[in-house]
Chains A and B, each alone.
Chain A
Amino acid sequence: MNNAYLDGLASIAPEIVLTVTALGALVLDLVAKGRDSVRVGYLTLAGLAATAWFLFGQWGQPSHTAYGMVAIDQFGNFFKLFSTAALAIVVLFVMHDRRERRHGIGEYYFLLLGALIGIFFMVSTGNLLLMVLGFELLSLSSYSLSGFHKGNRKSAEASMKYVIFGGLSTGIMVYGISLLYGLTGTIDLAKMAGSANLVAQVSSNPIPFGIATVLVLAGFAYKISLAPFHFWTPDVYEGAPTPVTAFLAVASKAAGFGALLRFLGALFLDQGGTPLGEYGTRVGTMLALLAAVTMTLGNLAALRQPSLKRMLAYSSIAHAGYVMIGIACMTRGGFTAAMYYLAAYYFMNLGAFGFLVYFEGVTGSDTVDSLKGMGFKAPLISMVMVAFLVSLTGLPPTVGFYGKYLLFIEGVDNGLMWLVVVAALNSVVSLFYYLRVARALFLSKASDQEAAPAPVLTGFVTVLGVATVAFGLYVTPLQAWATKSLDLIRSATGS
């Protein structure tokens, strides 16, 4: 027991708090014999607040590595804080979702918190072993969560499809990592990038390295639902309980992007001119092609969805394509734009899912048709929903507009003009299906459905809506945060 060990414990305090909270939620539910679901929810929220407090405590700390594996830096902190906030909102969704069953709520929160711990380790390590373990912790929790409604056939089918695709992609990724390990003799990304062996291999014999890189990227592509690994997304998002879908669409996807940014950043960023840098350019071209395919597929499929939930699933595929514009640039500026867009995506997508939770509770259905005239019955939440739709389309004055603007600027600066044109055309297409929802809300004849008030749910969805607009008008803090987070990634990957 020495000081390094204790310092390490302080560094992973947020993860420890989460673990304790997860166990506490499980035990409290057992003690209350499943009758006090509200208190379990508040315990979870308290645990998340404590986690956020510890994360803010690590805010100004210099980047360092705990136990030679866990990188504590601003970059990880960015994703951790957003994921914690996202989970807090998802927990609020669960507490206010009329359709959510109350039985076994302890396991529900336990699995959600487990998924968050997975995210934490995934985004804060340069060690591929720990990254895979975090990845898998997140995946296993997600499989169980998407099938959580055991008697529900759709839920069961969703979890089965998820586990098949997830297992396959994890397997492919681990195989790719084994090849990278063979080429470099290390599983630490910082050492890997500096490995003389790797640079020699890349310049003389690039094929094995190429295969390994593509296989590892396949694993990430699955997590962020990038084509051609997006097939699971619509089915799982539709079948899973809505709060879980929100979690998968926002936190889980952003975590995949976080790990991907760290992986690409460590191996390829700022290495222009070197063999590894040239390779990075080629990887960037491949990612740009995939981005174009992903956003087009997502948007075209979203056009003809009668179900709002499934439409949001396809829209989340399209948004993964937009974020990839920034990553395909393979520059610091591009990565920053991608991170900014992910932050924007948190606000607008969580808000849209909050609206979905509300109106599924009211109408018991998730089709756009059943939305008709709801704008007059529940005006506040519907107006806020329109703000989210405007932001998802990428129109001013919202955070989605500025995010897209940054991505397009970076794309043009880095010679991806064609991709920016494709993305702009896609945004126009997306306008059709987003506005279809707005039209159903406000311009259709009202149905005789009664809209039951849900003040709390409406309240925090409105807060998200205000944030969506406010950060669109006043962009500096979020942008400065994203830039600063990325600046501090490099020093942290080395131990």
Chain B
Amino acid sequence: MGLGAYIAVSAALFALGIVAILVRRNILYVLMGIEMILNAANINFVAFNRFNGGGLEGRMFAIFVIILAAAEAAVALAIVLNVFHLFNSVKPAEADLLRE
């Protein structure tokens, strides 16, 4: 399988992640969308590293992005839990104290 196939998969994943963030009203799906975008980047890093050769920079980057995604999920879920306690909802649209 060539490099093109990997890039196509990652681009599709990236697009799906963006759509999930834009369309979904539930914050948990939004967070999943963000994970999808980060994983799309990971596929790119590993695939480019495999086909372009040279060093381990790409793979290293991918490992760090996995860690980063985990840290972000932890913080985001803590925040969502706090919001759920205060608003009884995990939908951003229902928490709207701050606006014009």
Contact surface of A with B, Cβ cutoff 8 Å? 129, 132-133, 136, 140, 143-144, 147, 150-151, 153-154, 156-161, 163-164, 167-168, 170-172, 174-175, 177-179, 181-182, 185-187, 234-235, 238-239, 301, 304
B61 lies within 8 A of A129 (CB): yes
B95 lies within 8 A of A160 (CB): yes
A160 lies within 8 A of B83 (CB): yes
- What is the chain B residue whose CB lies nearest that of A140? B75
Contact check: which of B30, B31, B45, B99 meets A178 at CB < 8 Å?
B45
Which residues on the B side are within 8 Å of A150 (C-beta)? 82
- What is the chain B residue whose CB lies nearest that of A142? B75
Number of B residues whose C-beta is below 8 Å from A? 47
Main secondary structure of the interface of B (DSSP, over half): helix
Contact check: which of B33, B52, B57, B97 meets A154 at CB < 8 Å?
B97
Chain B 1-55 interface residues, beta-carbon cutoff 8 Å to A:
7, 10, 14, 17, 21, 27, 30-31, 33-34, 37-38, 40-42, 44-45, 47-48, 52-54
User: When A168-B21, A178-B48, A181-B48 are in contact, do A160 and B38 touch as well, CB less than 8 Å?
Assistant: no
Complex formed: what's the CA distance from A61 to B46 in Å?
A: 38
Complex formed: what's the CA distance from A308 to B54 in Å?
A: 54
Q: B75-100: contact bitstring with A at CB < 8 Å (1 yes, 0 no)? A: 11011101100110000100111111
B98 lies within 8 A of A158 (CB): yes
User: Taking the nearest CB of chain A, how far is it from the CB of B83, in angstroms?
Assistant: 5
A182 lies within 8 A of B44 (CB): yes
**Apart from A156-B95, A157-B83, A235-B99, 11 more pairs, CB < 8 Å:** A156-B79, A157-B97, A157-B98, A164-B27, A164-B34, A168-B33, A171-B41, A174-B68, A181-B44, A182-B47, A187-B58
- What is the chain A residue whose CB lies nearest that of B40? A175
User: Taking the nearest CB of chain B, how far is it from the CB of A26, in angstroms?
Assistant: 17
Complex formed: what's the CA distance from A138 to B48 in Å?
A: 28
A160 lies within 8 A of B79 (CB): yes
User: Taking the nearest CB of chain B, how far is it from the CB of A154, in angstroms?
Assistant: 5
User: Taking the nearest CB of chain A, how far is it from the CB of B10, in angstroms?
Assistant: 8
- What is the chain B residue whose CB lies nearest that of A166? B72
Which residues on the A side are within 8 Å of B98 (C-beta)? 154, 157-158, 161, 234-235, 238-239
Which residues on the A side are within 8 Å of B31 (C-beta)? 167
Which residues on the B side are within 8 Å of A175 (C-beta)? 14, 37, 40-41, 44
Contact check: which of A129, A154, A179 meets B44 at CB < 8 Å?
A179
B57 lies within 8 A of A187 (CB): yes
Residue of A144, A157, A185 most packed against chain B (CB within 10 A):
A157
Which residues on the B side are within 8 Å of A304 (C-beta)? 100
Contact check: which of B10, B44, B82 meets A159 at CB < 8 Å?
B82
Contact check: which of A129, A136, A157 meets B72 at CB < 8 Å?
A136
Complex formed: what's the CA distance from A147 to B17 in Å?
A: 25
A168 lies within 8 A of B37 (CB): yes
A160 lies within 8 A of B97 (CB): no
B79 lies within 8 A of A181 (CB): no
User: When A143-B75, A161-B92, A167-B76 are in contact, do A174 and B41 touch as well, CB less than 8 Å?
Assistant: yes
B72 lies within 8 A of A167 (CB): yes
A178 lies within 8 A of B95 (CB): no
Complex formed: what's the CA distance from A235 to B92 in Å?
A: 13
B76 lies within 8 A of A186 (CB): no
Which residues on the A side are within 8 Å of B71 (C-beta)? 136, 140
- What is the chain B residue whose CB lies nearest that of A133? B64
Which residues on the B side are within 8 Å of A171 (C-beta)? 17, 34, 37-38, 41
Which residues on the B side are within 8 Å of A178 (C-beta)? 10, 41-42, 44-45, 48, 61
Which residues on the A side are within 8 Å of B68 (C-beta)? 132-133, 136, 170, 174
User: Taking the nearest CB of chain B, how far is it from the CB of A226, in angstroms?
Assistant: 19
Complex formed: what's the CA distance from A161 to B96 in Å?
A: 10
B45 lies within 8 A of A181 (CB): yes
A177 lies within 8 A of B82 (CB): no
A-B pairs, top 7 by smallest CB distance, nearest first, are: A171-B37, A178-B44, A182-B48, A167-B34, A235-B98, A178-B41, A175-B41
Which residues on the B side are within 8 Å of A143 (C-beta)? 75-76, 79
Complex formed: what's the CA distance from A94 to B67 in Å?
A: 32
Which residues on the A side are within 8 Å of B97 (C-beta)? 153-154, 157, 239
Complex formed: what's the CA distance from A273 to B31 in Å?
A: 43
